[in-house]
């Protein structure tokens, strides 16, 4: 039997899957690493932690399997998007990576609009200037750390750096490059125009490749340490949401994905890069060649639940924390939560907004708060789903993946709030499975990603919306939506108190 490995470099942890030719998961490892928040709005990670934990994960995976290293035909990657990894001329890391959920760059977003123009930026990149994207981070380092910026020879994204450490080769694939705001999304080339207008040397941008392209093999010393074979081919891989889409079979028009990881995403396949969404949703290159996807992003989806657990239930597992949410009625006895703990992206591109619990009552206990957190996260994702529906998309079934897809009550809640069937596949590890599929396709096991999906992906269970719950949630959703507008000014005034 032959195998492939999919590595998903998430924000909370690296998840590694060993998958056989039938698409069965033969081994699975997860290794976590910390996120550093030095100030409000900041979010950084040390790239060395990604490498250490990926290597540790590979060692563990190979130790616990009977598969021979030479039977692993290929490895590919999925990774958290947008994070800036700056390298010097010797490819040494110059500073901590600035992550996708770091929002320190509002001023740089304005600078981009002033230099490029809103419409021109949309024409080239298909996206607005958002704090989380990579270009504003580059400009921030240029302005605040000029001596360090001066030493920069290349920038890459998180999984590109880990791939570089395993292979010695630097690349970036189109699906991840689209999230930098430096890519001409439909021409699939770095935009010289944007680089020139913002005085960014285009030489900083790494060579571009397709996600399924072979980019190298495992370096001998990495092979010795991990137990991998130096003959195993390495394929570029893609952005975690593009890989999540591949690993969930979102490979044709009409298919929709909900991913609840640290962030939350509602994603829809697009056959062309020429539709107009006016920047209301993100519009990026897919990991499937010459395809695209649109998505709305909740900045802190799973992260809101993790934050709640860390503050109010330290040491408990997600399973015990969520054990009794099924006993709490819809609406948590009048308690609502907005998940804006690090600001928001869709539909409110607002780095300044912060979260609220509204309606706290003497009768509430912890389980009401937990249910309110889950409902708030799901309402936020429903705002993205609404944008798609308002643009004429018919959404009847949604494939749900990520850590949030581990809880059955939450999946029923998704069905009731989205008013759509929620399908869970045989593995909720969509991005890692997508990376494994890119390796399988890259190795030539299949003639297309679609035929790989037909072999690899199986439906596990589907949750059907319960009409009575749908009606209750539709009423509550109207109240939820009113919280944003009613808390903008309050949060502006609170800003000076945040450290």
Ligand X SMILES: Nc1ncnc2c1ncn2[C@@H]1O[C@H](COP(=O)(O)OP(=O)(O)O)[C@@H](O)[C@H]1O
Enumerate the active-site residues. Answer: 240
Q: Is 82 annotated as a binding residue?
A: yes
Q: Which two tokens stand for residue 379?
A: 């309402």
Q: Is 286 annotated as a binding residue?
A: no
User: From ligand 5SP, ligand X, none, which one binds at residue 212 (CB under 5 to 8 Å depending on kind)?
Assistant: none
Q: How many CB atoms lie within 10 A of CB 460?
A: 12
User: From ligand X, ligand 5SP, none, which one binds at residue 306 (CB under 5 to 8 Å depending on kind)?
Assistant: ligand X
Q: Indicate whether 297 belongs to the interface with ligand 5SP (CB under 6 A).
A: yes
Q: Give the residue from 215, 142, 216 showing the smallest Cα distance to 176.
A: 215
Out of 262, 268, 338, 427, the only residue in the binding site for ligand X (CB under 6 A) is 262
Q: Which two tokens stand for residue 453?
A: 């999906």
Q: Indicate whether 54 belongs to the interface with ligand 5SP (CB under 6 A).
A: no
Q: Indicate whether 45 belongs to the interface with ligand 5SP (CB under 6 A).
A: no
Out of 322, 422, 432, 433, the only residue in the binding site for ligand X (CB under 6 A) is 322
**Scanning residues 293 to 312, which ones bind ligand X (CB under 6 A)?**
302-303, 305-306
Q: Give the residue from 228, 235, 220 showing the smallest Cα distance to 70.
A: 228
Show the site string, 232-271: x = touches ligand 5SP by CB under 6 A, - = not. --------xx-------------------xxx-x------
- Residue tagged 């001023």 (tokens): 107
Out of 61, 81, 353, 440, the only residue in the binding site for ligand 5SP (CB under 6 A) is 81
Instruction: Give the span between the Cα atoms of 399 and 378, in whole angstroms.
Output: 14
Dihedral (Cα; 254, 259, 264, 267), 10-degree rounding = -20
Binding region for ligand X (CB under 6 A) out of 7-15, 90-98, 181-189, 335-343: 7-15
DSSP code, position 133:
S
Q: Indicate whether 343 belongs to the interface with ligand X (CB under 6 A).
A: no
**Scanning residues 171 to 230, which ones bind ligand 5SP (CB under 6 A)?**
179
Binding region for ligand X (CB under 6 A) out of 379-387, 399-407, 465-473, 480-488: 399-407
Count of alpha carbons within 13 Å of 177, Cβ hemisphere only?
26
| φ, ψ of residue 409 in degrees (nearest 5) | -65, -40
Least distance to ligand 5SP, CB of residue 158, Å: 9
Q: Indicate whether 403 belongs to the interface with ligand X (CB under 6 A).
A: yes
Nearest to ligand X of 206, 339 (CB atom): 339
Out of 30, 80, 127, 414, the only residue in the binding site for ligand 5SP (CB under 6 A) is 80
Nearest to ligand X of 110, 461 (CB atom): 461
Instruction: Give the span between the Cα atoms of 343 and 298, in whole angstroms.
Output: 9
- Residue tagged 């599929």 (tokens): 437
DSSP line for 241-262: HHHHHHTTT--STT-EEEEESS
User: From ligand X, ligand 5SP, none, which one binds at residue 305 (CB under 5 to 8 Å depending on kind)?
Assistant: ligand X
Instruction: Give the span between the Cα atoms of 272 and 389, in whole angstroms.
Output: 18
Cα–Cα distances in Å, from 337 out to 10, 253, 267, 368, 483?
Answer: 25, 33, 23, 11, 9
Question: How many residues does the structure list for the chain?
Answer: 499
Out of 348, 367, 406, 481, the only residue in the binding site for ligand X (CB under 6 A) is 406
Q: Indicate whether 247 belongs to the interface with ligand X (CB under 6 A).
A: no
Q: Indicate whether 402 belongs to the interface with ligand X (CB under 6 A).
A: yes
Q: Indicate whether 10 belongs to the interface with ligand X (CB under 6 A).
A: yes
Least distance to ligand X, CB of residue 264, Å: 9
Kindly tell me the number of DSSP H helices and DSSP E strands found in the chain: 17, 24
Instruction: Give the span between the Cα atoms of 269 and 254, in whole angstroms.
Output: 7
User: From ligand X, ligand 5SP, none, which one binds at residue 321 (CB under 5 to 8 Å depending on kind)?
Assistant: none
Q: Which residues contact 116 (CB under 8 A, 6 or more apart)?
A: 124, 193, 194, 197, 198
Least distance to ligand X, CB of residue 229, Å: 27
Least distance to ligand 5SP, CB of residue 132, Å: 5
Q: Which two tokens stand for residue 452?
A: 């790989």
Least distance to ligand 5SP, CB of residue 241, Å: 5
Q: Indicate whether 132 belongs to the interface with ligand 5SP (CB under 6 A).
A: yes
Nearest to ligand 5SP of 14, 72 (CB atom): 14
Instruction: Give the span between the Cα atoms of 292 and 179, in whole angstroms.
Output: 12
Q: Indicate whether 12 belongs to the interface with ligand X (CB under 6 A).
A: yes
Cα–Cα distances in Å, from 222 out to 24, 32, 82, 163?
Answer: 26, 20, 26, 11
User: From ligand 5SP, ligand X, none, which one binds at residue 297 (CB under 5 to 8 Å depending on kind)?
Assistant: ligand 5SP
Q: Where are the alpha helices (DSSP H) in 350-466?
A: 366-390, 408-418, 430-442, 449-456
DSSP code, position 341:
B
Contact 11, 263 (CB under 8 A): yes
- Report the interface residues with ligand 5SP, using CB under 6 A: 10-11, 80-82, 100, 132, 179, 240-241, 261-263, 265, 282, 297
- Report the interface residues with ligand X, using CB under 6 A: 10-13, 261-262, 302-303, 305-306, 318-319, 322, 402-404, 406-407, 410
Task: Summarize the annotated binding site for substrate as residue ranges.
Answer: 81-82
Task: Summarize the annotated binding site as residue ranges.
Answer: 81-82
């Amino acid at each position: 039997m032959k195998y492939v490995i999919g590595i998903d470099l998430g924000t909370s942890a690296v998840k590694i899957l060993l998958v056989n030719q039938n698409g069965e998961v033969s081994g699975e490892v997860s290794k976590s690493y910390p996120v550093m928040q030095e100030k409000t709005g900041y979010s950084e990670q040390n790239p060395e932690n990604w490498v250490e934990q990926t290597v540790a994960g590979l060692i563990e995976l190979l130790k616990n399997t009977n598969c021979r290293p030479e039977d692993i035909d290929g490895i590919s990657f999925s990774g958290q998007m947008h994070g800036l990894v700056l390298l010097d001329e010797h490819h040494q890391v110059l500073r901590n990576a600035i992550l996708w959920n770091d929002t320190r760059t509002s001023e740089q977003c304005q600078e981009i609009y002033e230099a490029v123009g809103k419409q021109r930026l949309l024409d080239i990149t298909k996206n607005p200037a958002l704090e989380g994207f990579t270009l504003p981070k580059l400009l921030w380092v240029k302005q605040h750390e000029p001596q360090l910026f001066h030493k920069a020879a290349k920038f890459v994204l998180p999984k590109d750096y880990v791939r570089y450490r395993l292979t010695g080769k630097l690349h970036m694939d189109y699906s991840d490059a689209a999230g930098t705001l430096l890519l001409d999304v439909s021409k699939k080339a770095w935009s010289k125009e944007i680089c020139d207008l913002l005085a960014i040397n285009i030489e900083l941008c790494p060579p571009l490749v397709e996600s399924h392209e072979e980019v190298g093999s495992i370096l001998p010393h990495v092979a010795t340490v991990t137990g991998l074979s130096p003959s195993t081919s390495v394929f570029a891989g893609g952005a975690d949401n593009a890989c999540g889409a591949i690993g969930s079979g979102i490979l044709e028009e009409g298919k929709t994905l909900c991913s609840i990881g640290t962030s939350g995403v509602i994603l829809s396949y697009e056959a062309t890069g020429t539709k107009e969404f006016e920047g209301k949703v993100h519009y990026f290159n897919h990991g499937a060649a010459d395809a695209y996807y649109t998505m709305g992003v909740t900045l802190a989806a799973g992260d809101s639940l993790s934050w709640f657990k860390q503050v109010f239930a330290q040491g408990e597992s997600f399973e015990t924390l969520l054990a009794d949410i099924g006993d709490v009625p819809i609406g948590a006895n009048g308690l609502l939560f907005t998940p804006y703990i690090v600001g928001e992206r869709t539909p409110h591109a607002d780095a300044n907004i912060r979260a609220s619990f509204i309606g706290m009552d003497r009768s509430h206990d912890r389980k009401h708060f937990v249910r309110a957190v889950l409902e708030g996260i799901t309402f936020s994702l429903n705002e993205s789903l609404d944008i798609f529906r308002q643009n004429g998309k018919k959404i009847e079934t949604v494939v749900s993946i990520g850590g949030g897809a581990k809880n059955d009550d939450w999946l029923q809640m998704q069905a009731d709030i989205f008013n759509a069937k929620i399908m869970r596949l045989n593995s909720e590890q969509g991005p890692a499975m997508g990376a494994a599929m890119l390796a399988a396709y890259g190795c030539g096991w299949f003639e297309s990603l679609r035929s790989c999906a037909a072999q690899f992906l199986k439906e596990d269970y589907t949750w059907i919306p319960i009409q009575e719950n749908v009606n209750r949630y539709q009423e509550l959703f109207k109240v939820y939506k009113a919280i944003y507008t009613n808390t903008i000014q309050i949060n502006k005034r609170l800003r000076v108190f945040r450290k």
